[in-house]
Copies of this chain bind each other. A is one copy, B any other.
């Protein structure tokens, strides 16, 4: 079993177990090759484990046609490294001391080191993608980094604004999350020599899975996340970040002052508890669960044109995993 995985993900990952072991080796070999000050930093972030969902998607998406297996492994490693780089910078700008119970780079070292080391990891991920020799994949990867950064900037600039339409929320979560899921599945398909129609199908799968993943993640902020040690319920709201449950509340009661009033005074625990209470006592969370289910359904439908096989079953099972991880 790969380090850090539960029984559930481990069975989903079975068809690409070998590839995932190679990804792990590739990530760890980075620190081994370094002699400089970067070595302990690389060890710290690559040996932390993680669910490796994104590289698994890349590898699974590559399994439908005969191909050079080294290229999806390179891409899967790049996708995971890019994810790690964004976490390093996100935790830095958010001043987060912990991520999943472990001290962040900016907390263990400092923000000076975390900014520069994040740049280093971004660039390292790009060299892996270059080694796939596929220009379309390389360009898509660069665009994804732009989307990730602009999604985070969008979240920052719209914070504490209680008037945000749902389409802006959708655009924001596409950029900050679904874009990389999309790139993970699309690039896997391309490097797995899939025909264009299947590339589009697997890209759609990644998009919908990523959207489901982020809406689900945003829901956890209202329900409490048993796996996310130390993150208090309602922390998005306290940081002024509007997510789907609150947007639905604002859609239903456009003239209500509850959320605008909280955003005027975000440290007021009584106001926060009131918003959480109203949302929890409404049908909103169930409606959000339905949005997650709808995205998962679309993800599954995207795969219809693909032949039934173990990798396809794993991609289908991943949509259940996204839904189930909150229970």
Contacts and interface: CB of A to CB of B under 8 A. Distances in A.
A119 B157 contact: no
B122 A122 contact: yes
Contact of A154 (B37, B139, B145, B150): B37
A156 interface: yes
Given A36-B154, A149-B123, A154-B36, A115 B116 contact: no
A189 interface: no
A19 to B, nearest CB: 23
Contact of A119 (B111, B122, B139): B122
A280 interface: no
Interface in A112-170: 112-113, 115-120, 122-124, 126-127, 130-131, 133, 135, 138-139, 142-143, 145-146, 148-150, 152-154, 156-158
A280 to B, nearest CB: 31
Nearest to A127: B142
Contact of A93 (B112, B146, B153): B112
Nearest to A158: B37
Nearest to A132: B135
A283 interface: no
A77 interface: no
A38 interface: yes
A165 to B, nearest CB: 14
A120 B150 contact: yes
Nearest to A147: B123
Contacts of A93: 111-112, 115-116
A115 B135 contact: no
Nearest to A124: B146
Contacts of A123: 122, 142-143, 145-146, 149
A34 to B, nearest CB: 9
Interface in A27-77: 36-38
B149 A120 contact: yes
Given A93-B111, A135-B133, A138-B138, A127 B146 contact: yes
Nearest to A89: B115
Interface string A269-311: 0000000000000000000000000000000000000000000
Given A36-B153, A93-B116, A116-B156, 12 more contacts: A37-B153, A37-B157, A89-B115, A92-B115, A116-B149, A119-B119, A119-B145, A126-B142, A127-B142, A127-B146, A130-B135, A135-B135
Interface of A: 36-38, 89, 92-93, 111-113, 115-120, 122-124, 126-127, 130-131, 133, 135, 138-139, 142-143, 145-146, 148-150, 152-154, 156-158
27 contacts: A36-B154, A37-B150, A37-B153, A37-B154, A37-B156, A89-B115, A93-B111, A111-B111, A116-B149, A116-B153, A117-B153, A118-B119, A119-B145, A120-B146, A120-B149, A120-B153, A123-B143, A123-B145, A123-B146, A123-B149, A124-B142, A127-B142, A127-B146, A130-B135, A130-B142, A133-B135, A135-B135
